[in-house]
Amino acid sequence: MFIVEGCNEKAFAPLSLTADGKALSELDSNEEWLNAALRGDAGLPGRLKVDCRATTRIRGIKVVSSGQRSVEYEAYANNDEKVLIKALRRHEPDNVEHLVLNYLTEKNFRWSPQLLCSVLFDGAPYLLITKFIEGLPAATEYVSSSFVRSVENIKALGSNIGKTLADLHATLLGCDAAWCRPEPISENDIRSWLRRLSWRAVWLREKAPHMLPSHDRTLLLEAADSLEELAGDLEPLAERLMGTLKMRTHGDLHLYQVIKGPNDNVYFIDFGGEPYKMPASRLEKEPAVRDLAALARSLDYAGMMGEQLRTGESLLRVTSWPSRDLLAWESETFKVILDSYMSEAKSRGLSNLYDGIGALFFWLVERASYEAVYEIVARTGYHYVPLNALLRYRDGNDHLASFIRGLA
């Protein structure tokens, strides 16, 4: 069995019996099978497409993490080079991570995983093998910082995140393939982005109540109302994007996708785009400021997680009544990232990276609306973070949102 289908999705199920015939194991955790796959000899003629920069042999496979979307293995390749093997579990033809990583590797972009091999199955990425990046998610530092309300101790990290993001966007601006080529934003794009908000408001009101406990129903309805009210005010902001550039962005940028290495260097990982991006497609191009909005939203998550640790309160409580100093911390930490991003973009003469900065609040709300749907569908338990953020954005009770509104 290699592909299973259900609920309008296809999933990879690379399963086989163990040698004793008593259990199932995943083929991509088997060194012999994996190396056969890299040679194009995995018993799947015509269905696997293997593209390696050099002949690669893998040994010492060890599971690093396992989730709904992928399993990640640490291993060693030729000459004892440490590598990361990402084995995807969803058959997603709209996943362009292999294309992004291949492009960035060809351009010698230093701050993302260097692609060594990609394996596609029926046109969709199945295995990605990259050089291993040593470090920890930047999210851990931000959660700790929020705990003590310190901005100073993460200024260097935030500054490097902003600078490196501008470097990433500048590199992607030069991409000329159809999947990544920058294009002017049209009226149709703006209408499509606005429809995301109205679609998600209806979804929160009509679908989400059946997926959460009844005691969350009031919050869901208030969030749906807030999103609808905000959408009406956001149309002029969205229209400011007309004629500016849409491009291939990171696509799912948050602080767990940012790895802090030595000397506060940062690396961006996981370019596969967002799951459950309803009603949008991961193939859609968007303006560069969308990644900035995603980071701003990620700071809200970091702040609320830190507050949970500090107070011992439930996530519902800390997100419903966040303290003013916590919200101020979120705003100040984002300013560090934004100032660094803007400075780097201006120093390169890349005004097209920040032409859309006046519409940043639109993307902040769009990101929160996406998160609300995602957290509920994926049943993470974190839906309180974006739902309560939508209420604060509507009521004007959020420092970060007020600062971003002021950029318009």
Q: Give residue-wise pLDDT tens across range 368-395.
A: 999 999 999 999 999 999 999 999 999 9
> What would the mean pLDDT of 264-268 be, rounded to a whole number?
93
Looking at the DSSP bridge assignments, the partners of residue 65 are 72
**Confidence (pLDDT) at 191:** 96
DSSP class of 135: S
Strands (E) located in 67-175: 70-76, 82-88, 115-121, 124-131, 136-137
CATH level 3 topology of 3-131: Phosphorylase Kinase; domain 1 (3.30.200)
3-state secondary structure of 75: strand
Q: How confident is the model at residue 105 (pLDDT cuts 50, 70, 90)?
A: very high
**Confidence (pLDDT) at 120:** 93
Q: What percent of the chain has pLDDT over 70?
A: 95
pLDDT for residue 294 is more than 80: yes
Q: Where are the domains of the chain?
A: 3-131, 136-405
**Confidence (pLDDT) at 85:** 95
Structure token pair of residue 298 = 């990620």
Listed range (25-39, 138-152, 291-305, 377-391) with the worst mean pLDDT: 25-39
Residues 193, 184: Cα–Cα separation, whole Å: 15
> What would the mean pLDDT of 257-261 be, rounded to a whole number?
96
Looking at the DSSP bridge assignments, the partners of residue 136 are 260
pTM score = 0.94
| Residue that has been written with the tokens 């640490």 in this structure | 74
Measured between alpha carbons, how far apart are the two ends of the chain, in Å? 54
pLDDT for residue 17 is more than 60: no
Q: What percent of the chain has pLDDT over 90?
A: 77
**Confidence (pLDDT) at 10:** 81
**Confidence (pLDDT) at 188:** 97
Options 3.10.50.30, 3.90.1200.10, 1.20.58.220, 3.30.70.260; which CATH number does 136-405 get? 3.90.1200.10
Q: How confident is the model at residue 56 (pLDDT cuts 50, 70, 90)?
A: confident
Q: Give residue-wise pLDDT tens across range 148-201.
A: 999 999 999 999 999 999 999 999 999 999 999 999 999 999 999 999 999 999
Residues 274, 280: Cα–Cα separation, whole Å: 10
**Confidence (pLDDT) at 25:** 64
**Confidence (pLDDT) at 3:** 73
Listed range (79-93, 317-331, 358-372, 377-391) with the worst mean pLDDT: 79-93
Residues 339, 368: Cα–Cα separation, whole Å: 22
Polymer length in residues for the chain:
408
Tell me the average pLDDT of the chain.
Answer: 92
> What would the mean pLDDT of 42-57 be, rounded to a whole number?
80
pLDDT for residue 44 is more than 70: no
**Confidence (pLDDT) at 305:** 97
Among 103, 124, 126, 123, residue whose Cα is nearest residue 115:
103
**Confidence (pLDDT) at 129:** 96
Cα 92 to chain centroid distance, Å, stands at 16
Residues 103, 316: Cα–Cα separation, whole Å: 42
Question: H/E element holding 11?
Answer: strand 9-12
Decide if 3-131 and 136-405 have a common fold: no
pLDDT for residue 27 is more than 70: yes
Q: Are 277 and 370 in contact (CB under 8 A)?
A: yes
**Which one has a higher pLDDT value, 47 or 217?**
217
Q: Give residue-wise pLDDT tens across range 303-320.
A: 999 999 999 999 999 999
> What would the mean pLDDT of 327-347 be, rounded to a whole number?
97
Q: How confident is the model at residue 280 (pLDDT cuts 50, 70, 90)?
A: confident
3-state secondary structure of 348: coil
pLDDT for residue 263 is more than 90: no
Listed range (44-53, 65-74, 105-114, 203-212) with the worst mean pLDDT: 44-53
